[in-house]
Amino acid sequence: MYSPAGVKTAASHPIPDVMKAWVLGDPGQLTLQDKPVPVPKKAEVLVRIDAVAICATDLEIIYHGPPASIQGGLPFNKGFTPGHEYMGMVVALGPGVDEYQIGQRVTVEIHAGCGQCKRCRAGMYTSCHNYGLNYGDVDKGHRANGFTTDGGFCEYQVNNINTLVAIPDTMSDEEATLVVTAGTAMYGLTELGGLVAGESVVVTGPGPIGLLGVAVAKALGANPVILTGTRDNRLAIGLALGADYAVNVRQEDAVEAVRRLNGGRGVDYVVECSGAPNAVNEAIRMVNRGGKVCLAAFPHEETPVDVAHIVRNNIYLYGIRGEGKSATHRAEAFMSQKRFDATKIHTHTFALEDLPTAIRYAKDRVEDAIKVVVKARGVPAAQRVAAE
């Protein structure tokens, strides 16, 4: 039985030595293998993973590699386990940990920065200067689970205590996997100025981050909140999450629509979540002079940008990486207070053994899938459970 030196365990929560873990081989190739259950070090805990949501970035990593970086390179054929939007229960405590208890339910954020570089010291741990210099020959203590270290498509994972967010029993496993997505949207709004009560916001692109961006902006008091996109079913979810207006850009020019809906003026903030080729040029025309644009999507290609328009109009452009400045804690506070219902974007649940099917649903948007969750227990294999 699992009992590493210096690690606190409890008889009430027995831990095996070996677990099931999905391992990435060649691009797109995942196999279910046995792996040793990892051991928490100082300031870390072992989390029993109960549910994992599939993210578009997981699909990028599994099929193309970046932004994952394992031992400084592509993640293929290195025994790497992807997955990063997970939740579960603390089952073992590394040396010195008293901030969490065994048996406590938690969800996680992805990035544990090194804690010693300039960016980490400023709360920008998703932009850690020692990114990728995690355990191995160089040990800076940095982890980005599912990106530079093993992630969550398995039964147990090690997490730094700074990446844990305690959740109430009233929050379901599925909802808890969405805290980090809402946290990413929250971080975007933090970087744009934080409190947006009464200010106007456009969210472009109704993917998971865009949809929860609408919800978070509304919870922060933004008015109006305008969502743009191409799929009516997703725009409808945006309206249900609090958008004041939804614009289908296939039917109407997005920039003109935004100005019309905001009294003829540009808005204060744009959160760009579409990654569309002309998204930046449209976003800088949606904001008013002195407005702010947050870029939260990873476009595939380089595109020309009208820099003169940005300069002439004193526009601020921000890129954000992930969920910095403890934004997940603030997102969780909204969610546990039921300020919005993030589960509106959860569409399907599968057993962990059926991860390849779950990935197909997420990738091909089978049955209009948005957020697809896999669970290590409680869901019979080869049996899909549609969300309500």
Contact pattern for Zn ion over residues 10 through 49, marking x by CB under 5 A: ----------------------------------------
SS3 content of the chain, % helix, strand, coil (to 5): 30, 25, 45
Q: Which two tokens stand for residue 54?
A: 């599939």
54/222 with CB nearer Zn ion: 54
Query: CB of 216 within 8 A of CB of 145?
Result: no
Q: Which two tokens stand for residue 14?
A: 């027995």
Contacts of 80 (CB under 8 A, 6+ apart): 23, 24, 68, 70, 150
- For the CB of residue 20, give the shortest distance to Zn ion in the complex, in Å: 22
Residue 114 found at the interface with Zn ion (CB under 5 A): yes
DSSP string, 36-65: EPP---TTEEEEEEEEEE--HHHHHHHHT-
Q: How far apart are CA 91 and CA 85, in angstroms?
A: 18
Residues 197-256 close enough to bind Zn ion by CB under 5 A: none
Interface region with Zn ion, contact rule CB under 5 A, candidates 50-58, 148-156, 168-176, 332-340: 50-58
- For the CB of residue 383, give the shortest distance to Zn ion in the complex, in Å: 25
133/237 with CB nearer Zn ion: 133
Q: How far apart are CA 252 and CA 242, in angstroms?
A: 21
Q: How far apart are CA 228 and CA 130, in angstroms?
A: 36
- For the CB of residue 170, give the shortest distance to Zn ion in the complex, in Å: 24
Residues 256-285 close enough to bind Zn ion by CB under 5 A: none
128/225 with CB nearer Zn ion: 128
Residue 55 found at the interface with Zn ion (CB under 5 A): yes
Interface region with Zn ion, contact rule CB under 5 A, candidates 3-11, 126-134, 188-196, 241-249: 126-134
Q: Which amino acid is at 58?
A: D
Residue 62 found at the interface with Zn ion (CB under 5 A): no
Q: Which of 75, 113, 132, 206 binds Zn ion (CB under 5 A)?
A: 113
Q: Within 10 Å of residue 333's Cβ, how many Cβ atoms?
A: 14
CB-closest chain residue to Zn ion = 55
Residue 106 found at the interface with Zn ion (CB under 5 A): no
Residue 128 found at the interface with Zn ion (CB under 5 A): yes
Residues that bind Zn ion (CB under 5 A): 55, 57, 113-114, 117, 120, 128, 130
